[in-house]
Amino acid sequence: MSKFWSPFVKDLVPYVPGEQPKLAKLVKLNTNENPYGPSPKAIAAMQAELGDNLRLYPDPNSDRLKQAVADYYGVSTAQVFVGNGSDEVLAHAFHGLFQHGRSLLFPDVTYSFYPVYCGLYGIAYEALPLDEQFQIRVEDYARPNGGIIFPNPNAPTGCALGLAAIERLLKANPDTVVLVDEAYIDFGGETAISLVNQYPNLLVSQTLSKSRSLAGLRVGLAVGHPDLIEALERIKNSFNSYPLDRMAIAGAAAAFEDQAYFQQTCQAVIASREALVAAMSDLGFEVLPSAANFVFARHPQRDAAELAAALREHGVIVRHFKQQRIAQFLRITIGAPEQNQALLDALGQIL
Ligand SMILES: *Cc1c(COP(=O)(O)O)cnc(C)c1O
């Protein structure tokens, strides 16, 4: 606190990201990073950008990347927005599409950045409870609102919502924007991008941080009606004209173009997830059905915070949230097979 702070800054409640430990030896299963490296073609494309050209500003519109995304999804570049991580894309959407005076709706258990953006942009919100199985009840969202946002699969539960349910939600809310945050869609969900031509109120965001292993590069995107994209462009061009640097544009485009590597690494993560779910169930955990690159699990006899602390002593870090409804759960990222084994060995010893 300082006398130089504005009242606005004093009242901000910032997001707290998962720990990035300085100790390299830890088995890091706490922030849903991909255990496999980025596409070798993406790395080569970034290396090719490292040179004299860095004296020049990057393309403010990131056209090369927009084209790669548009080609991949069969949409036009006017339907694509890109930003510095999907967190930035989401921030612009909150600012430009949800600030209408009425409450934004999202689930009570969800990505904890949403209420932070509401605080930043002065947006009222209502958190609607998930059902007992931690699923979104679509009927609850048929009420007056200033917009709707949820991750699909949801975070931190990993539970996916089907396209039919998303369509019901879109039909019930034709006058407000429905933002589907597909940070984890490539690990087992079905993308709603196939619906953007039918529903002008649908915006779908994705990230290259998880399924394309580029968390360190900071690239996110959104696909939707050109009018929605134009709103995001207006905000972006009033804030930072160059959110993506030269390396990011080249690396992200190459990652989208390398479909073989992408499929192979996603399949490996999915196979590891299924093996981990089975092994954790054998240890007595209740694991929610996951379509993501993490599992959300509780042990009926063990306190989750104590388990997380004990795992840390065994060199394994996982994510624990203090929010009351999920305080007995751990969110565990799917690692490489040897990391998952280290987790299971540690759990075996602790239990
Ligand atoms: C990881 C994550 C993001 C943010 O991704 P970045 O592109 O790394 O900013 C957005 N939404 C959800 C639900 C996430 O889990």
* DSSP code string of 141-184: G-S--SEEEEESS-TTT-----HHHHHHHHHH-TTS-EEEE-TT
CA of 93 to the centre of ligand 1 (A): 14
86 C-alpha to ligand 1 centroid (Å): 6
Distance 87 CA to ligand 1 centre (A): 6
Instruction: Answer whether 215 contacts ligand 1 (Cβ < 6 A).
Output: yes
pLDDT tens figures, 34-91 = 999 999 999 999 999 999 999 999 999 999 999 999 999 999 999 999 999 999 999 9
pLDDT band at 99 (very low <50, low <70, confident <90, very high): confident
Q: Which segment of 23-32, 200-209, 257-266, 324-333 scores lowest on mean pLDDT?
A: 23-32
Distance of CA 311 to the CA centre of its chain: 25
- What's the average model confidence in pLDDT over 152-164? 98
CA of 219 to the centre of ligand 1 (A): 10
What pLDDT score was predicted for residue 265? 98
Q: Look at residue 97 in the predicted model and tell me its pLDDT.
A: 98
What is the pLDDT, as a whole number, of residue 348?
96
Q: What span, in angstroms and rounded, lies between the C-alpha atoms of 54 and 226?
A: 31
Pocket perturbation via mutation, ligand 1, pick of 180, 184, 209 by most ligand atoms within 8 A of CB: 209
Taking the centre of ligand 1 as the mean of its atom positions, its distance from the CA of residue 183, in whole angstroms, is 5
Determine the 3-state secondary structure of 230 from DSSP. Answer: helix
**Are the CB atoms for 112 and 143 separated by under 8 Å?**
no
In the chain, which segments carry CATH 3.40.640.10? 40-257
Residue 24 predicted with pLDDT over 80: no
What gap in Å lies between CA 223 and CA 69, rounded to an integer? 9
Q: What average pLDDT does range 5-23 have in this prediction?
A: 87
Is ligand 1 within 6 A of the CB of residue 87?
Answer: yes
Reading the block at residue 70, the tokens are 């548009």
CA 99, CA 128: separation in Å to the nearest integer?
19
Per-residue pLDDT, 180: 98
The DSSP secondary-structure symbol of 109 reads S
Q: What is the rounded average pLDDT for all residues in the chain?
A: 97
Q: What is the pLDDT of residue 22?
A: 80
pLDDT for res 59: 98
Paired sense of beta strands 202-207 and 316-317, if any: unpaired
In short, whether 209's Cβ falls inside 6 Å of ligand 1 is yes
Provide the CA 265 distance to its chain's centre, in angstroms.
Answer: 18
CATH architecture of the domain formed by 40-257: 3-Layer(aba) Sandwich (3.40)
Q: Crossing angle of helices 40-49/246-257, nearest 10°?
A: 150
Q: Is 243 in the pocket of ligand 1 (CB under 6 A)?
A: no
CATH topology of domain 19-37+260-350: Aspartate Aminotransferase, domain 1 (3.90.1150)
Asked whether 231 and 78 are in contact (CB, 8 A), the reply is no
Among 7-16, 58-67, 74-83, 337-346, the minimum mean pLDDT is found in 7-16
Question: What is the Cα–Cα distance from 56 to 336, expressed in whole angstroms?
Answer: 39
Distance 109 CA to ligand 1 centre (A): 15
Q: Measured between alpha carbons, how far is 41 from 177 in angstroms, rounded to an integer?
A: 36
State the virtual CA torsion across 293, 34, 219, 18 in degrees, nearest 10. Answer: 80
Convert the pLDDT of each residue in 316-328 to its tens digit. 999 999 999 999 9
Of 259, 237, 201, 182, the closest CA to residue 62 belongs to 237
- What number of CA atoms fall less than 13 Å from residue 274's CA on the CB side? 7
Partners of residue 295 on adjacent β-strands: 332
Longest dimension (CA), the chain: 60
Residues, the chain: 351
Nearest to 97 by CA among 2, 220, 202: 202
Q: How far apart are CA 167 and CA 306, in angstroms?
A: 41
Are 109 and 157 in contact by the 8 Å Cβ rule? The answer is yes
- For CATH 3.90.1150.10, list the domain ranges present in the chain: 19-37+260-350
pLDDT above 80: residue 195: yes
- Ligand 1 in contact with 251 (CB < 6 A)? no
Q: Determine if residue 349 is left, alpha or beta; phi over 0 gives left, psi from -120 to 50 gives alpha, anything else beta.
A: alpha
252 lines ligand 1 (CB under 6 A): no
pLDDT mean over 290-295:
98
Q: What is the pTM of this model?
A: 0.97
| Amino acid at the residue 217 | L
